């Protein structure tokens, strides 16, 4: 049995009444980021589902965030539909590059083994970088306009015996059989599910990470840094921060960053300036990137992640993506985990034909996705420590580092996501007593319904 049943109390009495309930399952998705849009793109193909996405911002704006999607992200998109994968490819790359293998190269930029390549992360054919804004654009094209509203910031969630009532800050309301919160790291859905005072509700920056970052044109970057780093995705490691570049917008812009651990923030959270003088013992290539970033750090941000939530749902309300498991960006798998959530939920809802099956679907989702996505949160923290030369002398032993990254890549990148979907479905089917063949819950003729 699943932990939290929805509050549905409607008795199943006569066949007539049941037939009357054969209306569509109404799903409110709160949050139109990568997770919410990808799920919407899958749900729109299901005849028995009626969904609506409520996004808090009036329109998407390009904050210059770059993504280098790993193989598991691409596999998850493919499971939702080839058109979802295609939305990514058409935004992320020039034609004809789909067969080229790409990876994030992790290289030591400090110490006796300077220059050594210790990992190739997220190796995949057709892997390319994409700006978050471009990917959102691509996914948005897959969702019918009438099924998404902007400027809807979540204010209140109430459960009742006929579903979920959602109130937005603008005073408007929505009602649905269930709600899926994909409302990001500062999720109000998370606060509803865990409680506002739960220790895991608020994101935390345990290790004092600050990501100093700049956005420049690739042309400008080529004048200041080794041009090689305007075409690939390197992570250059050292004890006072790791340095990273990501080409964006089909190679016309570059996001360059220095991620520093253990930053001494001011009492009001003031961020100290990035001082290139501190990087004099790093490789020349790394130093040049630091100097480029220090010119203009206005695109910087303070990283945080979530401690483990004990559950990803309560009643008919679930959370997904960064709302459920925001992670540090260091393992390059945050968006991938959001897409895996979407793939599993999309698959489960293909068989949810009655409102009283929603609890079983959320329970199966929670059991399948929570352990794996939380392991990725832990893994990303560990990546950060290793990148910062802060994990038991690992940087002194590149072989050990290679083994670690190889194992980690196996866990994130090479996961069998078809199997993950199948496992979730098996849990769902056993919870609802086997009626998961899309028979819309009506017993065959002649069978007594009790
Ligand atoms: C999209 O929204 C319309 C209007 O609310 C609704 O009738 C329709 O079922 C929705 N489509 C899907 C695929 O959910
Ligand atoms: C679903 O349908 C398949 C094929 O018709 C059948 O083998 C399977 O037993 C059914 N599963 C359930 C849970 O009814």
Nearest-atom number in ligand 1 for the CA of 46 is 13
Instruction: Give me the pLDDT at residue 42, please.
Output: 98
Instruction: Dump pLDDT digits (tens) for 169-218.
Output: 999 999 999 999 999 999 999 999 999 999 999 999 999 999 999 999 99
Give the number of the atom of ligand 1 that is nearest the alpha carbon of residue 144: 1
Pick the atom of ligand 2 nearest to 429's CA: 13
Statement: residue 109 has pLDDT above 50: yes
Q: Report whether residue 437 contacts ligand 2, using a CB cutoff of 6 Å.
A: yes
**Residue-wise pLDDT tens digits, 87-96:** 988 887 554 4
Query: Which pLDDT tens digit goes with each residue over 242-259?
Result: 999 988 877 788 999 999
Query: Which residues pair with residue 83 across a beta bridge?
Result: none
Q: Write the DSSP string, 343-376.
A: HHHHHHHTS--SGGGHHHHHHHHHHHHHHHHHHH
Domain boundaries defined on the chain: 14-92+130-204+306-432, 210-302
Q: What is the pLDDT of residue 7?
A: 66
pLDDT in tens, 291-328: 999 999 988 888 999 999 999 999 999 999 999 999 99
Residue 95 confidence (pLDDT): 40
Span 148-159, pLDDT tens digits: 999 999 999 999
With cut-offs at 50, 70 and 90, classify the pLDDT of residue 444.
Answer: very low
Q: Structure tokens of 361?
A: 């679907």
- Which residues does residue 215 pair with via DSSP β-bridges, in sequence order? 255
What's the confidence (pLDDT) of residue 96?
Answer: 43
For residue 426, the ligand closest to its alpha carbon is: 2
- 444 touches ligand 2 (CB under 6 Å): no
Cα–Cα distance, 112 to 217 (Å, whole number): 33
Q: Is 51 in the pocket of ligand 1 (CB under 6 A)?
A: yes
Average pLDDT, stretch 38-61? Answer: 94
Taking the centre of ligand 2 as the mean of its atom positions, its distance from the CA of residue 437, in whole angstroms, is 6
- Which ligand sits nearest to residue 39's alpha carbon? 1
444 class by beta-carbon count within 10 Å (0-12 exposed, 13-18 middle, 19+ buried): exposed
> What is the pairing mode between strands 49-54 and 210-217?
unpaired
Whether 15 shows a pLDDT value over 90: the answer reads no
Ligand 2 lined by 260 (C-beta under 6 Å): no
Q: Is the model more confident about 48 or about 66?
A: 48
Mean confidence (pLDDT) of the chain: 88
Q: Spell out where 201-334 has E strands.
A: 210-217, 233-237, 242-248, 253-260, 301-302, 313-314, 317-319
Cα(446) to centroid(ligand 2), Å: 19
146, 346, 350, best to mutate for ligand 1 pocket (most atoms within 8 Å of CB): 146
Task: Tell me the CATH architecture of domain 14-92+130-204+306-432.
Answer: 3-Layer(bba) Sandwich (3.50)
Which range is most confident: 215-229, 248-262, 428-442?
Answer: 215-229
- For residue 312 the two structure tokens come to 């990803």
Query: What's the pLDDT at 440?
Result: 44
Report the range of poorest mean pLDDT among 11-20, 126-135, 305-314, 337-346: 11-20
Average pLDDT over residues 37-64: 91
Q: Whose CA is nearest to atom 6 of ligand 1?
A: 50
Percent of the chain with pLDDT over 70: 87
What's the 181 CA to ligand 1 centre distance in angstroms?
19
Q: Which fold has domain 210-302?
A: D-Amino Acid Oxidase; Chain A, domain 2 (3.30.9)
Per residue in 323-375, pLDDT (tens digit) is 999 999 998 899 999 999 999 999 999 999 999 999 999 999 999 999 999 99
Mean pLDDT of 33-48: 97
Instruction: Name the residue with the closest Cα to ligand 1, atom 2.
Output: 147
For atom 8 of ligand 2, the residue with the nearest CA is 437
Ligand 1 pocket check for 47: Cβ under 6 Å? no
List of E strands, 72-209: 101-108, 117-125, 129-131, 148-149, 154-160, 163-168, 173-176, 178-181
Q: What is the pLDDT of residue 19?
A: 55
Q: Does the pLDDT value for residue 101 go beyond 60?
A: yes
What residue's CA is closest to ligand 1, atom 9?
50
Tell me the CA–centroid distance for residue 448 and ligand 2, in Å: 20
Q: Is the pLDDT of residue 438 over 60?
A: no
99 lines ligand 1 (CB under 6 A): no
Confidence of residue 420 (pLDDT cuts 50, 70, 90): very high
Phi first, then psi, for residue 421 (nearest 5°) are: -60, -45
Task: Provide the pLDDT confidence category of residue 445 given band limits of 50, 70 and 90.
Answer: very low
Read off the pLDDT band of 3 (50, 70, 90). Answer: low
Ligand nearest to the CA of 27: 1
Is 383 within 8 Å of 305 (Cβ atoms)? Answer: no
């Amino acid at each position: 049995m699943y932990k939290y049943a929805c509050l549905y109390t409607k008795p199943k009495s006569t066949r007539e009444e049941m037939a009357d309930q054969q209306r569509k399952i109404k799903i409110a998705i709160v949050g139109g980021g990568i997770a919410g849009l990808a799920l919407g793109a899958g749900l729109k193909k299901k005849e028995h589902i009626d969904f609506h996405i409520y996004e808090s911002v009036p329109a998407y704006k390009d904050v210059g965030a770059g993504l280098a999607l790993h193989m598991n992200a691409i596999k998850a998109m493919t499971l939702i539909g080839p058109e979802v994968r295609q939305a990514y490819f058409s935004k992320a790359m020039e034609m004809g590059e789909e067969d080229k293998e790409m990876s994030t190269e992790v290289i030591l930029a400090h110490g006796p083994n300077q220059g050594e390549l210790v990992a190739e992360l997220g190796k995949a054919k057709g892997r390319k970088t994409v700006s978050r804004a471009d990917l959102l654009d691509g996914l948005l094209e897959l969702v019918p306009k009438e099924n998404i509203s902007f400027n809807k910031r979540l204010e209140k969630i109430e459960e009742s015996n006929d579903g979920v009532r959602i109130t937005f800050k603008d005073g408007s309301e929505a009602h649905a059989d269930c709600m899926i919160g994909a409302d990001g790291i500062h999720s109000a859905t998370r606060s509803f599910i865990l409680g506002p005072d739960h220790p895991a509700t608020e994101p935390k920056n345990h290790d004092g990470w600050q990501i100093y970052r700049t956005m420049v044109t690739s042309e400008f970057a080529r004048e200041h840094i080794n041009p090689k780093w305007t075409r690939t995705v390197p992570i250059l490691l050292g004890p006072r921060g790791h340095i990273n570049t990501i080409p964006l917008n089909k190679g016309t812009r570059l996001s360059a960053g220095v991620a520093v651990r253990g930053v001494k923030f001011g009492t009001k959270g003031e961020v100290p300036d990035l001082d290139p003088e501190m990087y004099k013992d790093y490789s020349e290539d790394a130093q040049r990137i630091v100097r480029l970033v220090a010119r203009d750090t206005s695109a910087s941000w303070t990283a945080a992640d979530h401690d483990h939530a004990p559950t990803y749902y309560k009643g008919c309300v679930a959370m997904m993506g960064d709302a459920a498991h925001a992670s540090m960006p260091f393992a390059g798998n945050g968006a991938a985990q959001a897409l895996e959530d979407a793939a599993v939920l999309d698959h489960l809802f293909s068989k949810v034909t009655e409102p009283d099956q929603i609890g079983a679907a959320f329970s199966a989702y929670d059991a399948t996705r929570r352990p794996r996505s939380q392991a990725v949160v832990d893994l990303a923290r560990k990546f950060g420590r290793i990148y910062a030369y802060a994990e038991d002398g690992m940087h002194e032993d590149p072989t050990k580092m290679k083994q670690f990254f190889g194992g980690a890549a196996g866990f994130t990148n090479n996961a069998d996501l078809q199997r993950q979907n199948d496992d979730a479905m098996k849990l769902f089917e056993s919870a609802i007593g086997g009626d998961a063949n899309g028979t819309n819950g009506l017993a065959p003729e002649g069978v007594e319904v009790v």
